[in-house]
Structure 1
Amino acid sequence: MTAPYSGSCNCGAVTATIAAEPVWVRQCWCGQCQKAAAGSATNNALFATDAMAITGDVAWKGYTAASGNTVEQGFCPTCGTPIFGRNSSRQGSWVVRLGFLDGDHGLKPASAIWLEEAPEWAVVDPALEQFPRQPPPPPPAS
């Protein structure tokens, strides 16, 4: 499937339509993402915020990451569904949790990152490009 993508939280209070393709789709095994995903990796697609139309209220909670960047998690304040992530180093884009997207959206991780923090029982698809920590940033859009 291709854009537009749509998504909703479990209770339907927050919805989104995304009119662009993601910059990347990744699985993240950093310690903070494992906490956000109840012990597993998060599966995320990075989208430009100007391509996103959001309805409903999103609650945000943040922390300072090991990189020094401010990282915030966005979720539905009514049902708690994890929806977004944003990072102070990536102005103009947010990650969307793949589980927030509706239906068979066709997006799947192309890489797994922060594998040095993954638990020994983690199962990582060997077909994914793998990085022990954060990969280099994507090239600027033309």
Structure 2
Amino acid sequence: MTEVREARCRCGQLSAACLGEPVRVSVCHCLACQQRSGSAFAAQARYPADRVTITGEHRTWTRVADSGREVDYGFCPNCGSTVFYTGGNFENFMAIPVGAFADPAFPPPHFSVWERRKHAWTEVLGDEVDHSS
């Protein structure tokens, strides 16, 4: 049986049901992810878009990434939590913030990107983590 992981906004009305394991779990230190997460970095899991079912009302905000590509963020209109985003360098995939799963046993990241923007006091640990600037 294939596992379904469910991510939710803080008030619970918007959710993303993700089928199977993520194809990529990463930590991003870019300034946009810092602003989105309200933290020094953001952790996200990527799934093929056809393996994610969104339930509940959401609003979309679009920004242009450094690559010039658009990224669409889906967030709850009640509590403001970002539950998913699409676009950018990963077309046909949906990114889900790892914290939205509220699962301390969620798979760890294997990528740490935009490290040139990393706060000096942070460190992403693990023997299998690919560190890139």
Q: Do both proteins adopt the same fold according to a TM-score greater than 0.5, normalized to the shorter chain?
A: yes
- Corresponding position: 1:77 with 2:77: yes
**Residues 40-49 or 103-112, more deviating:** 103-112
On the 8 A contact 2:63/2:70 being kept in 1, the answer is: yes
Structure 1 outlier segments of 4+, above 6 Å: none
The Cα of 1:47 is off from its aligned counterpart by: 0.5
Structure 2 equivalent of residue 48 of structure 1: 48
- What SS is found at the alignment partner of 2:91? coil
CA distance in 1, matches of 2:71, 2:4: 26
1:14 partner letter: L
Cα gap change, 1:104 to 1:31, in 2 (>3 Å) = closer
- Report the count of equivalent residues: 131
Gaps of 5+ in 2: none
User: Are 2:60 and 1:60 aligned?
Assistant: yes
Give the TM-score of the pair, scaled to structure 1.
0.82
Indicate the residue corresponding to 2:131 in structure 1.
130
CA RMSD of aligned residues (A): 1.8
Cα offset for 1:103? 3.5
Is there any run of 5+ residues in structure 1 with no aligned partner, and where?
Answer: 133-142
Percent identical pairs in the alignment equals: 26
Q: Which has the higher strand share?
A: 2
Residue 6 of structure 1 is matched in structure 2 by: 6
The two structures have a TM-score, normalised by structure 2, of 0.87
- State the one-letter code of the partner of 2:112: A
Partner deviation per Cα, 1:104-137 (whole Å, 9 max, x = no partner): 45222112111011122223325322011xxxxx
- TM-superposed deviation, 1:89: 3.7
| Distance in 2 separating the partners of 1:44 and 1:27 | 6
